Amino acid sequence: RGNEALLDQEGIDLVQQLIDLGQEHLFDHWPAPGDDDDRKLALMEQLKQLNASYPGGLKAYITNAKRLLEASKAGENAFEGYVPSVPEGEKLDFGSRDFREFEEIGVEASREAAFVLVAGGLGERLGYSGIKIALPTDLARNACFLQLYMESILALQAKAGGNAQLPLAIMTSGDTHERTQKLLQDNAYFGMQPAQVTLLKQEKVACLSDSEAHLAVDKDNPFKLQTKPHGHGDVHSLLYGSGLLKKWVEAGVKWVAFFQDTNALVFRGLPAALGVSVKYGYDMNSLAVPRRAKEAIGGIAALRKPDGNTLTINVEYNLLDPLLRASGWADGDVNDDTGYSPYPGNINQLILKAESYLPALEKTQGIIAEFVNPKYKDDTRTAFKSSTRLECMMQDFPHGLPSDASVGFTVVNQVWAAYSPVKNSPPDAKAKVAAGAPSHSATTGELDIYQTNCRCLQMLGAQIGGPEQREFNSLQVEMWPRVSWSPSFALTFADLEAKVHGPSISISQDSALVIEGANIEVKSLELDGALVLQTSRKARLVVDGLKLHNRGWKWQALKAEKPMSEEQYIRGFLVCKREALHLVYDQDGTTVYPGPQIGAGAQQQTQGALTS
């Protein structure tokens, strides 16, 4: 009372609305006008921002919170009465004939695809203070995650030909937005047109202090609300609220592919999964991995609801086991004869059909399946140990689809080929392995790239040395020759097959091979050392008959007593680049290396060849 003159009409209306919603505690301590006016106005600014960033405003947020907190207090289980079964989906062997066929279909369909990277999370769990998409994917090629993702989209764009420009949206947060923007600007958008890329910034939501959904006030400042992230499910409301999805659909986008911040292998599986979506007309398709029973990733399950309809959706691992037991499977979540759970592991790489995605968002405004997870002080389930907030997850999208929607999955049977995220700090990674789970560390994130590339070459007939057993950050790992290439060189199996002649290639265990550029062909190569092949513009390089032996590059385990950067610490190694042959060409025309050893050819071949 008496402070009305401080506020504009929007502020007065908002205060009244909040009082009607039982939030008097935000204002009843306000002193008379003249005291603390700046702090009152700061609170009003924060309230207006929270009101604007949630679909339906704070009224909708508090109403949803009251409903969900009531259900939580009553101990309601979201899956009560649901009966799980193994859903329909496609299981593919990486590189198999089927896989390649789906890949071809997916590449064709990608000319009508848009891409969404969710990158609002910070690397706290990883022990990294920067933004995760700026981390190098591997130390041989040294491209960061964002670069690799954008290059992969550009590689698909190049296949689409013409003037196609495949769009990319990146969801950022207050923690990552500026640094993501700077990374893009400092690197000329990694070759994309700035207009192709849209940053969508997610805002935090207000915290709740009790079961009555009172907004939680900062402990040290009664004029400030506590806020926390709302989760990666925000991506749906941002695509809707910004109008971007509608714009894409109007421009002819038929498929929207989502992926997370640190999985360098995502584009090894995504084209094939898109092919599966096309073939079966899936409204939603989750690219998934084989999952060991009880492993701490969600399982995708078909749930028969009490009304008889079926919902195919990710069930978080802590809920899957009790759900199976409650539905008559006495042993709960167990492996089948394959050694894996029959429920595929969710890795949040999703392909949504735009035709059904847009109407689903129009119906829900993108607010799909929020949940609340308060930690109660006692059995009365009223007071919380600390404030909570509503959350949402992108993979819960099927709740927004009609009951006759077609939801499936695509499993790539070889875990190393599709999913090796960089999520856990060295101590956490060690603990994961001790518990029988993959480490999902920066160490394996890099080494799995080499493994996948080497195995691809092996499938094409190349002789690959190793792998060698090594230990980094107390993790026992397999180290394959360090082979890394740009997506412009090869994104799909068909690309690789067209550019390397496997049976004439041998690479020793301690070698490193980096291939950077679209116009490179490796006809025959015997490598024992380090070799970098690089072309730009219209230069074309053919490696034919090269036998190379040099001192190479060494991946050396870090000695803990030495000072190290965060990037080195999380991997547990550094690279000692002792000697390499660099074949770098940027002039028009074809170079065959080593090529004929006499005459003009010899002159040409030495121009781009450097040893470092």
Binding region for ligand UGB (CB under 6 A):
118-121, 171, 173, 202, 229, 231-232, 260-261, 297-298, 314, 346-348, 393, 395, 421, 423
Q: Which is nearer to ligand UGB, 198 or 314 (CB)?
A: 314
* Core vs surface per residue 215-229: b (16+ CB within 10 A) or e: bbbeeeeebebbbbb
| Least Å from the CB of residue 119 to ligand UGB | 5
| 228 three-state secondary structure | strand
The radius of gyration of the chain from alpha carbons, rounded to an integer in Å, stands at 27
Nearest to 109 by CA among 329, 310, 277: 277
- Report the C-alpha gap between 422 and 399 in whole angstroms: 29
Q: Which is nearer to ligand UGB, 138 or 261 (CB)?
A: 261
| Least Å from the CB of residue 49 to ligand UGB | 17
| Least Å from the CB of residue 421 to ligand UGB | 5
| Least Å from the CB of residue 74 to ligand UGB | 25
How many CA atoms does the CB half-sphere of 467 hold within 13 Å?
19
| Least Å from the CB of residue 314 to ligand UGB | 6
Q: Which is nearer to ligand UGB, 100 or 132 (CB)?
A: 132
| Least Å from the CB of residue 324 to ligand UGB | 17
Q: Which is nearer to ligand UGB, 118 or 531 (CB)?
A: 118
CA 490 to chain centre: 21
Nearest to 211 by CA among 58, 50, 71, 29: 71
Cβ atoms 189, 147 nearer than 8 A: no
Q: Which is nearer to ligand UGB, 423 or 432 (CB)?
A: 423
Q: Which is nearer to ligand UGB, 69 or 235 (CB)?
A: 235
Token pair for residue 219?
């402990």
Q: Which is nearer to ligand UGB, 278 or 297 (CB)?
A: 297
| Least Å from the CB of residue 219 to ligand UGB | 23
Tell me how far CA of residue 345 lies from CA of 89, 413, 417, 526, 549, in angstroms.
12, 11, 14, 39, 43
Token pair for residue 40?
């009152």
Q: Which is nearer to ligand UGB, 126 or 532 (CB)?
A: 126
Beta pairing class for 581-585 and 512-516: unpaired
Tell me how far CA of residue 342 lies from CA of 154, 287, 293, 435, in angstroms.
35, 15, 8, 20
- Report the C-alpha gap between 261 and 306 in whole angstroms: 37
| Least Å from the CB of residue 329 to ligand UGB | 21
| 557 three-state secondary structure | strand
Nearest to 521 by CA among 601, 504, 160, 452: 504
The gap between the terminal CA atoms of the chain, to the nearest Å, is 76
| Least Å from the CB of residue 389 to ligand UGB | 11
Nearest to 62 by CA among 17, 122, 8, 105: 17
Q: Which is nearer to ligand UGB, 208 or 457 (CB)?
A: 208
